[in-house]
């Protein structure tokens, strides 16, 4: 029996998952690490925390599995996207904390790019909507803020990378400075049509090309694990941003197939095949994955706050003691009591794209209770996803009758049923909801010949299907009220300033 280890480096924790050659989950281990909030709207991670937690999870997952290290055929890496790191090429020492994808500090830099007339160029070349979400302006901010860093970058002394690149660098002992096409596509610096770093965009953000990683396929051997980590060199055979890995792990190999990952945020991706679809509804055109040098494109809508709203209920508001309680609490009331919760803690993502929107709860009365707030929070996750999926159908002229779901919050049966109801489509949850890790494992297994392309589609098994059970009039009324709540959240930070 051969095994694949997937490293799933997320926003709040690092996980390692061991799969066998039938893609069955053998063992997993996750380690949380601290979030740093230096100022309102700013989010950082310590690079060493990212690395230590991922190495710790790797070692403990392998230990728990009882697998002989000699039988591990490959390692696949999937990662939180857009989070930006800068380190010394000679020593590997980070120059500052990682700027996390949620961080809004570079909103003024984005506004400057748009004022300079570069908004359409960014859209036309990268498929992205200019936003502080993406990595390019985060790197620009670092180079502006750290004295002498731009000069050092020009001299080849520094490396930039998203988390995949940072992990590979460290796992290979500094022998590989690479990123895959899916992660490169999230930088606002990569031309997804020509498959290269874009010189004009680099110039616009004053970013030296010398610090950029080499762009590789999502499924290929890019280096070998340092022997000192597990006692043996193991091929690192896949890199993919977390949402792209989930799309692959859900088996969405045909155009029109769609998945939603309910993690810290919610991320809906639709496979559009070999041809990129340019959105008319403020969605992102991105690379789904790249294998054998050939990109497969996708439409994406990103919801910034999905499962994170449940963390907020638990950690900040103390309305529940654990996330799993929310399902039962939400069902204590027959409806939301006309309470709507827009969890725009870091602005609104697709299809609204309002950097200055902030969290809003409307419809409160004296009769509003804990259960209404919890229910409204869960419903908000589904409403935000529905906004994205509606825009996606309009852009692509493809509407799937099935939404494939994964991620931690997909275990919440109330949320999944409400998602089916508010969309009017079936929601299919697989047995392995860690499809981000599953996708990284599938891409790695493919690269080392463990699975053929034909076999990949047979690896994922269904768990439960949720059928819609809401009449059209109720659905229309709820969605109308949700849009009213969205409007009340808009522009809050701008008004404050």
**pLDDT > 90? residue 454:** no
pLDDT of residue 203: 95
**pLDDT > 60? residue 496:** no
pLDDT confidence bin for 461, thresholds 50/70/90: confident
Q: Is 281 within 8 Å of 287 (Cβ atoms)?
A: no
pLDDT of residue 494: 64
Give 220-250 pLDDT, tens digit per residue.
Answer: 999 999 999 999 999 999 999 999 999 999 9
Lowest mean pLDDT among 80-94, 298-312, 327-341: 298-312
Q: What is the mean pLDDT of residues 292-320?
A: 92
pLDDT of residue 416: 97
Residues in a beta bridge with 262 = 266
Q: What is the mean pLDDT of residues 195-215?
A: 96
pLDDT confidence bin for 8, thresholds 50/70/90: very high
pTM above 0.75, yes or no: yes
Distances (CA, A) of 495 to 184, 357, 490, 491: 34, 10, 9, 6
Give 168-183 pLDDT, tens digit per residue.
Answer: 999 999 999 999 999 9
Q: What is the mean pLDDT of residues 77-101?
A: 95
For residue 127, the SS3 value is coil
Nearest residue to 460 (alpha-carbon basis) of 437, 481, 435, 427: 435
pLDDT of residue 228: 95
φ and ψ at residue 193, rounded to 5 degrees: -90, -40
pLDDT confidence bin for 194, thresholds 50/70/90: very high
pLDDT of residue 398: 76
pLDDT of residue 401: 83
pLDDT confidence bin for 28, thresholds 50/70/90: very high
pLDDT of residue 497: 43
Give 131-168 pLDDT, tens digit per residue.
Answer: 898 999 999 999 999 999 999 999 999 999 999 999 99
Q: CB atoms < 10 A from the CB of 362, how many?
A: 17
- The DSSP symbol for 231 reads S
**Average pLDDT along the chain:** 93
Write the DSSP string, 317-383: S-S-SSTTHHHHHHTTSSS-TT-EEE--BTBB-TTT-BTT---EEE---TT--HHHHHHHHHHHHHH
């Amino acid at each position: 029996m051969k095994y694949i280890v997937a490293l799933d480096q997320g926003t709040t924790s690092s996980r390692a998952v061991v799969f066998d050659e039938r893609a069955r989950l053998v063992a997993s281990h996750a380690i949380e690490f601290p979030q740093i909030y230096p100022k309102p709207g700013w989010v950082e991670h310590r690079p060493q925390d990212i690395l230590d937690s991922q190495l710790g999870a790797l070692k403990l997952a392998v230990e728990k599995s009882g697998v002989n290290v000699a039988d591990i055929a490959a390692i696949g890496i999937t990662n939180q996207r857009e989070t930006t790191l800068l380190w010394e090429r000679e020593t590997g020492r980070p120059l500052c904390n990682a700027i996390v994808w949620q961080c809004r500090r570079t909103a003024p830099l984005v506004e400057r790019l748009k004022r300079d007339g570069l908004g359409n160029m960014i859209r036309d070349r990268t498929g992205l909507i200019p936003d502080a979400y993406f990595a390019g302006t985060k790197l620009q901010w670092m180079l502006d803020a750290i004295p002498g860093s731009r000069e050092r970058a020009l001299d080849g002394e520094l490396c930039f990378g998203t988390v995949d690149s940072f992990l590979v660098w460290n796992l290979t002992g500094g022998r590989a400075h690479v990123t895959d096409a899916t992660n490169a596509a999230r930088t606002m610096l990569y031309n997804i049509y020509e498959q290269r770093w874009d010189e004009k965009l680099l110039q616009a953000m004053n970013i030296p090309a010398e610090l950029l990683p080499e762009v590789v396929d999502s499924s290929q051997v890019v280096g070998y694990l340092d022997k000192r980590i597990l006692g043996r060199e193991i091929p690192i055979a896949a890199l993919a941003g977390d949402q792209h890995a989930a799309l692959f792990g859900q088996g969405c190999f045909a155009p029109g197939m769609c998945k939603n990952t309910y993690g810290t945020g919610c991320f809906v991706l639709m496979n559009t095949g070999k041809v990129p679809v340019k959105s008319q509804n403020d969605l992102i055109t991105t690379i789904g994955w790249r294998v054998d040098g050939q990109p497969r494109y996708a439409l994406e809508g990103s919801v910034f706050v999905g499962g994170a709203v449940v963390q907020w209920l638990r950690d900040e508001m103390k309305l529940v003691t654990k996330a799993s309680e929310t399902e039962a609490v939400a069902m204590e009331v027959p409806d939301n009591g006309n309470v709507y919760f827009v969890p725009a803690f870091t602005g609104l993502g697709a299809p609204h794209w309002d950097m200055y929107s902030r969290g809003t709860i409307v419809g409160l009365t004296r009769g509003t209770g804990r259960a209404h707030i919890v229910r409204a929070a869960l419903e908000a996750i589904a409403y935000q996803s529905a906004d994205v999926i509606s825009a996606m159908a309009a852009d692509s002229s493809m509407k799937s009758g099935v939404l494939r779901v994964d991620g931690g919050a997909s275990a919440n049966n109330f949320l999944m049923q409400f998602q089916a109801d508010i969309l009017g489509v079936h929601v299919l949850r697989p047995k392995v909801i860690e499809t981000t890790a599953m996708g990284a494992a599938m891409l790695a297994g493919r690269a080392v010949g463990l699975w053929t392309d034909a076999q990949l589609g047979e690896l994922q098994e269904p768990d439960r299907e949720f059928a819609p059970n809401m009449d059209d009039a109720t659905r229309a009324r709820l969605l109308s009220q949700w849009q009213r709540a969205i409007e009340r959240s808009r522009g809050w930070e701008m008004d404050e300033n």
